[in-house]
């Protein structure tokens, strides 16, 4: 099963696409987790920086909708086939496309030290408090861009509707940590400090 954007097929370049993974070797560019054999994946076609032609960057569909919404929306608009969870992907992509800073969310973690400063308020992020990782998309890669206090999230991201993105890009958190993160998020606080 392969869904491509018809508009892109008309041009000389290859199209972005949804397809089933043919092996379990590719990793998602958004979350860095493997894409399992047979799992639906999204391929973004980009110029090859190391040679002629183009290359494909693979993503889990929801990761692509959050971090690369324009190519996802392009394929969804040009696809006549049935893409699984099309409405959910479109909703996520439209939200990220409307607010470019949402595309920077790369999950959350506890601050291991008090050395990093918040990108929003520029104050140190205390050791043990929750922080949101920020990345920037540059030349087909996501480069680290710093952190944001949990308390500064609404000011920096210009919305408080970011919990789903944070959880999507925090796959290594334990169940207890995820629950604590959700509770801290809902309380609007940075959560308890670990010292």
Domain ranges, ordered by start, for the chain: 2-98, 101-187
Which DSSP category does 100 fall into?
A: G
Please tell me which residue, 126 or 49, carries the higher pLDDT value: 126
Asked whether the domain spanning 101-187 has the same topology as the one spanning 2-98, the reply is yes
CA 16/CA 42 separation, integer angstroms = 8
Predicted confidence at residue 6, as pLDDT, reads 42
| pLDDT band of 144, cuts 50, 70, 90 | very high
Kind and range of the H or E run holding 42: strand 40-47
- Contact indicator for 57, 156 with CB cutoff of 8 Å: no
- Contact indicator for 136, 104 with CB cutoff of 8 Å: yes
What CATH number belongs to 2-98? 3.30.1740.10
Predicted confidence at residue 14, as pLDDT, reads 59
pTM: 0.84
For 111, other C-beta atoms within 10 Å of its C-beta total 20
Pick the CATH number of 101-187 from 3.20.20.140, 3.30.450.40, 3.30.1740.10, 3.30.1340.10: 3.30.1740.10
Q: How far is CA 30 from the centre of its chain?
A: 5
| pLDDT band of 29, cuts 50, 70, 90 | very high
Which residues neighbour 180 within 8 Å (Cβ) at sequence distance 6 or greater? 191
- Burial of 72-96, coded b for 16+ CB within 10 Å and e otherwise, reads bbbbbebbeeebeeeeebbebbebb
CA 93/CA 78 separation, integer angstroms = 15
Q: What is the pLDDT of residues 65-81, one digit of tens each?
A: 999 999 999 999 887 77
């Amino acid at each position: 099963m392969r869904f491509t954007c018809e508009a892109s097929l008309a041009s000389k370049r290859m199209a972005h696409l949804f397809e089933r993974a043919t092996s379990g070797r590719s990793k998602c560019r958004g979350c860095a987790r493997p894409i399992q054999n047979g799992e639906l994946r999204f391929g973004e076609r980009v110029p090859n920086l190391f040679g002629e032609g183009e290359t494909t960057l693979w993503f889990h569909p929801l990761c692509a909708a959050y971090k690369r919404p324009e190519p996802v929306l392009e394929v969804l608009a040009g696809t006549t086939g049935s893409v699984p969870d099309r409405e959910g992907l479109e909703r996520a992509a439209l939200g990220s496309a409307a607010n470019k800073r949402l595309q920077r969310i790369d999950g959350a973690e506890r601050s291991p030290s008090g050395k990093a400063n918040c990108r929003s308020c520029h104050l140190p992020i205390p050791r043990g408090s929750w922080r949101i990782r920020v990345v920037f998309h540059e030349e087909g890669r996501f480069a680290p861009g710093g952190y944001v206090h949990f308390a500064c999230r609404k000011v920096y991201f210009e919305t408080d509707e970011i919990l789903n993105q944070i959880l999507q890009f925090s796959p290594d958190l334990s169940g207890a940590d995820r629950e604590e993160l959700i509770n801290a998020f809902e309380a609007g606080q940075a959560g308890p400090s670990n010292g």
